Amino acid sequence: MAAFADFPASQGKKVLEIGVGLGADHQCFAEAEADLYGIDLTERAVEHTRRRLALFGLSSNLSVGDAEKLDFPDESFDLVYSWGVLHHSPNTPLAIDEVYRVLKQGGSAKVMIYHKQSMVGFMLWLRYAILTGKPWLSFDTIYATHLESPGTKAYSIKEAQNLFSRFSNVKISTTLTHGDLLESNAGQKHRGLALMLARKLWPRWFIRRFLPKSGLFMLIDARK
Ligand SMILES: C[S@@+](CC[C@H](N)C(=O)[O-])C[C@H]1O[C@@H](n2cnc3c(N)ncnc32)[C@H](O)[C@@H]1O
C-alpha cells in the first residue's frame, strides 16, 4: 500500500511508526530520509527492524513501546503511521488518543485497521458460525476468535469515524485484499475441504465488480 503511505512525502518530516513488525514499511520511511522513530511491543520486532535497516546502511530511533502509552511528548510528530497494528491492541480507542496527542497541530495520522464488513469476515463467519451450526455468532466474535491473534478487532466505517472523531479531514476507504479474493494461502487452521471448495467457487469477478468496498483493509487518513 505504498500509495497510501506515500513514503517520498515523508522526507525531512518527523515520523513515528507504531508496530514496526518486520520493518518493511519502516525501511521505506528510512530510505525516504524521514526523521524516523519506530516502536513495537516486542523486543524481537525492534531488533529485527534495527538489523534490517543496518543491512541497508539506514537508521531510525527504534524502541520497545506500547501504542496505548507512547513515550513521547505531546505534539512531537508530523506523521504517525501504523499498518495493521491498532486493532491488536486491547484498548484501541486509547491508542488512537495517543496518536492524536503526539501529533503536531496540522500533522497527519495514516492508519490501517481491519474493516468489519469484509469478505474475509464473511468467509470466516460462513466457516465458523454457519458450518458449525452457530449462526448467532457475531462478526466481532468471529474476528476475535479466528483471525490472527486472539482478540483481533475489526470496525465498521461508522465505528472508525467515531474512533477518529477528534481529528479533522478524516478520509476513510476500504480495499480488497488477496484474502478477500481467496488469492493467497490461508492459515493452517483454516485449511480443509471447505476452503478447497471455496477457492474453486469464489466469485472473484463479481466481488471486484459489485462489492469493491468489502475489503478487509480500512485505510484512515486523518489530520490533527
Ligand atoms: C501484524 S503485525 C504488523 C507489522 C507491520 N506494521 C507490518 O505491516 O508488517 C503487528 C505488530 O504490531 C505490534 N503491536 C501489537 N500491539 C501493539 C501495541 N499496543 N503497541 C506497539 N506495537 C504493537 C506487534 O508486536 C506486531 O509486531
pLDDT at 188 over 90: no
For ligand 1, the distance from its centroid to the CA atom of residue 18, given in whole angstroms, is: 7
Q: State in Å: Cα 102 to ligand 1 middle.
A: 18
Which DSSP string do the residues of 170-214 spell out, in sequence order? EEEEEE--TTTTT-SPPPGGG-SHHHHHHHHH--HHHHHHH-TT-
Rounded-to-integer distance, Cα 142 and Cα 139, Å: 5
Is 206 a domain residue? no
Q: At how many degrees (to 10) do helices 43-55 and 24-31 cross? A: 40
Residue 197 cell numbers, joined: 471448495
Residue 46 resides in a domain: yes
Q: What is the pLDDT of residue 140?
A: 95
Within-domain flag for 141: no
Contact 219, 112 (CB under 8 A): yes
Distance CA 167, CA 97 (A): 10
Mutate which of 42, 88, 114, 148 to test ligand 1's pocket (most atoms within 8 Å of Cβ)?
A: 88
In a domain, 150, yes or no: no
- Cell numbers for 184, please give them: 493467497
The pLDDT value given to residue 171: 98
Does residue 23 fall inside a structural domain? yes
What pLDDT, on a 0 to 100 scale, did the predictor assign at position 191? Answer: 74
Predicted pLDDT of residue 148: 84
**Cβ 114 vs Cβ 147: under 8 Å:** yes
| CA nearest to 120, candidates 143, 150, 140 | 143
pLDDT for residue 52: 98
Please indicate, yes or no, if residue 179 is contained in any of the structural domains.
no
Please report which helix (H) or strand (E) contains residue 80, including its range.
Answer: strand 77-83
pLDDT at 101 over 80: yes
Distance from the alpha carbon of residue 216 to the mean position of ligand 1, in angstroms: 17
Distance 90 CA to ligand 1 centre (A): 12
Q: 10 is in which domain, residue-wise? A: 1-114
In the chain, the number of structural domains is: 1
In this prediction, residues 158-187 reach a mean pLDDT of: 93
Is the separation of the CB atoms in 192 and 74 below 8 Å? Answer: no
Q: Ligand 1, closest atom to CA 17?
A: 6
**Is residue 22 included in any domain, yes or no?**
yes
Nine-digit cell string for 174? 476500504
DSSP state of 9: G
pLDDT at 105: 98
Among residues of the chain, what percentage have pLDDT more than 70? 100
- Computed over every residue of the chain, the mean pLDDT equals 95
Q: Does 187 score more than 80 pLDDT?
A: no
- Nearest atom in ligand 1 to the alpha carbon of residue 39 is 21
> pLDDT tens digit string along 105-119?
999 999 999 999 999
Write out pLDDT tens, residues 133-158.
999 999 999 999 998 889 999 999 99
Q: pLDDT band at residue 196, thresholds of 50, 70 and 90? A: confident
Give me ligand 1 centre to Cα 88, in Å: 7
- Atom 7 (ligand 1) nearest CA: 21
Model confidence at 184, pLDDT cuts 50, 70, 90, reads: confident
Under a CB-based contact definition with an 8 Å cutoff, are residues 40 and 46 in contact?
yes
| Residue 166 clears pLDDT 80, i.e. is over it | yes
pLDDT of res. 79? 98
Q: Residues enclosing ligand 1, CB less than 6 A?
A: 18-19, 21-22, 24-25, 39-42, 45, 66-68, 83-85, 88-89
Residue 65 forms part of a structural domain: yes
Of all residues in the chain, the percent with pLDDT exceeding 90 is: 86
- CATH number of the domain within which 86 lies: 3.40.50.150
**Does the structure show a pLDDT above 80 at 186?**
no
